[in-house]
Amino acid sequence: MTILEARQVTKRYSIEDRLIPVLDDVSFAVDDGEFLVIQGSSGSGKSTLLSLLSGLDHPSEGRILIEEVDITGWSEDDLAPLRNQTFGFVFQSFHLVPSLSALENVMFPAELSGDKQAGEKAVSLLERVGLQARMSNFPHQLSGGEKQRVAICRALINEPKILFADEPTGNLDSANGQAILELLTDLHRERRMTLVFVTHSPEVARLAQRVITLTDGRVVGDQRAEMAS
């Protein structure tokens, strides 16, 4: 079943009197539960595409559909529940709230949605990623790898159908980066959620079920696991 679809998506930005094209006529569909990597060099448009797919930005032309519902013209008020409950986000920068503990950071999205089990769920997630001894620590007391694990737990607490990950290992050393990558792939299998992962890393691409390659804002490759390399 298709859970996410881009239809002839184009994105341009205005700079003074010029229109700068970033994405050009991008179309593809993502199956429910699929692990999709969007890869490309810097400036290829992959992070912009992720922003459009996740409703963080709007295309200049084309359509974005979630479970066959067109969200292209939705307002911020319409999109807010979708981002909080249907989507999860993990970014290169951790975006943790400095004044909240690790546990409180993870609980926050669930509390926003009125979940009375927010604390219990947050504890369980932090235990799952090996941070049971760090729950009361604040972000400045955590390493980069620990911060990213907290960010992953926060992204998962509302049990999203789709997890969007934008270069989540980009600010980490190789050992922590590998650990985070293994954690995300394990969680994808355990929870059977759709994982849309933006990267320039061939190592990450090799783990995916499907790899879409962007060059200069256009799709130049779309390979399933048995063909991806």
Superfamily for the 2-95+162-224 domain: P-loop containing nucleotide triphosphate hydrolases (3.40.50.300)
Q: Is the pLDDT of residue 225 over 80?
A: no
For residue 166, give the nearest of 74, 1, 52, 19 by alpha carbon. Answer: 52
Q: What is the pLDDT of residues 25-51, one digit of tens each?
A: 999 999 999 999 999 988 899 999 999
Residue 119 CB neighbour total at 10 angstroms: 15
Q: Is the pLDDT of residue 228 over 60?
A: no
With a pLDDT cut of 90, the percent of the chain lying above it is 73
Q: Could you tell me the residue ranges of all domains in the chain? A: 2-95+162-224
d(CA 11, CA 145): 33
Per-residue pLDDT, 204:
86
Average pLDDT, the chain: 92
d(CA 216, CA 109): 35
Confidence category of residue 226, pLDDT binned at 50, 70, 90: low
Q: What is the pLDDT of residues 193-204, one digit of tens each?
A: 999 999 988 888
Q: Which element (helix H / strand E) includes 184?
A: helix 174-191
Both tokens of 152, joined, read: 């992953």
Q: Strand pairing of 18-31 and 61-66?
A: unpaired
Per-residue pLDDT, 169:
87
Residue 54 contacts residue 129 (beta carbons within 8 Å)? no
For residue 155, give the nearest of 166, 167, 142, 164 by alpha carbon. Answer: 164
Q: CA 140, 142, 145, 146: dihedral to nearest 10 degrees? A: -120
Q: What is the pLDDT of residues 101-113, one digit of tens each?
A: 999 999 999 998 8
Q: What is the mean pLDDT of residues 127-156?
A: 95
Q: What is the pLDDT of residues 206-224, one digit of tens each?
A: 889 999 999 999 999 999 8
Q: Pick the most confident of 79-83, 89-93, 119-123.
A: 119-123
Per DSSP, the residues of 201-216 read: -HHHHTTSSEEEEEET
Both tokens of 156, joined, read: 């998962």
Per-residue pLDDT, 201:
82
Q: What is the mean pLDDT of residues 151-174?
A: 92
